Amino acid sequence: MTNAVLSWSGGKDSALCLHHALQNPGLRLTHLLTTLNEHYRCVAMHGVRAELLEAQAERIGLPLVPVWLPEMPSMEVYEQRMTDALEHLAAQGVRTTVFGDLHLQDLRAYREQQLARVGWQAEFPIWHKPAAEVMREFIDLGFRAVVVCVNDQHLDQSFCGRELDEHFLRDLPPGVDPCGENGEYHSFVYEAPYFSRPIAVARGEQVHRTYRPAADTENANNDCYRNEPSPFGAGFWYQDLLLAQP
């Protein structure tokens, strides 16, 4: 049996990938690996707060290995911090990473190349599954998720914060990948077949922001979302999610 770590974003693709990996008798999942923005303490691109990822890991029953990255990391910084994390895992007998990628061949080739450099292998359980099939399986298995980020070049603000369900999929404009594979949207899974219990979340404010280096680090732990105007005419809408109070 192969020990493996799963690349975990907290969204639908990694969640469905985990479902398939758990069904593979040849894999033994030992950890979840997540990259986070160390300034805002959120998942890069998704904007999901670190405590929500920790809640997912607790309900899954696997330890979360965070890889903290600066706001706009260079490739050199990104690759070095990922290498450090993999070396830590390799010392525990892990040398395989499982990814939830679907169709982006250049991204898969990059992952395989970088892992090969340090003697690791990659697994892609849902690779090339048709988008409609992925979404149907996700919904039919009982996963539930909130859309937490939309690219305003593809989707307007009204799509942000919605449940990721059949109604959401029916409303997608022509040309938008149902899985958001081209970066159209990202999600947060709050209920899954393998969760010990659902995660109760409360919706906070919606903000529009762009990716540019933060000017300061003041209040970084509490300010995951900045309402910044876009100097480029395009950006992202984010739905802030908070752990609901019991």
Q: Is the pLDDT of residue 69 over 80?
A: yes
Residue 240 CA to residue 191 CA, distance in Å, equals: 17
Q: Is the pLDDT of residue 98 over 60?
A: yes
Residue 195 CA to residue 143 CA, distance in Å, equals: 10
**Whole-number pLDDT of residue 219:** 39
List of long-range contacts for 108-116, beta carbons under 8 Å, 24+ apart: 114/79, 114/82, 115/86
Other Cβ atoms closer than 10 A to 129: 17
Other Cβ atoms closer than 10 A to 98: 26
Q: Is residue 87 classed as helix, strand or coil in its secondary structure?
A: helix
Residues in Cβ contact with 110 at an 8 Å cutoff, skipping those fewer than 6 apart? none
Supply the range of the domain harboring residue 146.
1-246
The domain that holds 113 is classified in CATH as 3.40.50.620
Closest CA to 82 of 42, 14, 36, 21: 36
**Whole-number pLDDT of residue 246:** 65
What pTM was computed for the model?
0.90
Q: Is the pLDDT of residue 226 over 60?
A: no
Reading the block at residue 226, the tokens are 């900045």
Strands (E) across 38-140 are located at: 42-43, 64-69, 96-98, 121-123
8-state DSSP, 27: E
Instruction: Provide the residue count of the chain.
Output: 246
Specify whether the CB–CB gap between 236 and 152 falls below 8 A: yes
What pLDDT digit, counting tens, does each position of 164-213 carry? 999 999 999 999 999 999 899 999 999 999 999 999 999 999 999 875 54
Q: How many domains does the chain have?
A: 1
**Whole-number pLDDT of residue 45:** 82
Summary mean pLDDT of the chain = 90
**Whole-number pLDDT of residue 211:** 58
For the chain, percent helix, then strand, then coil, each to nearest 5? 30, 25, 45
**Whole-number pLDDT of residue 212:** 54
Specify whether the CB–CB gap between 206 and 233 falls below 8 A: no
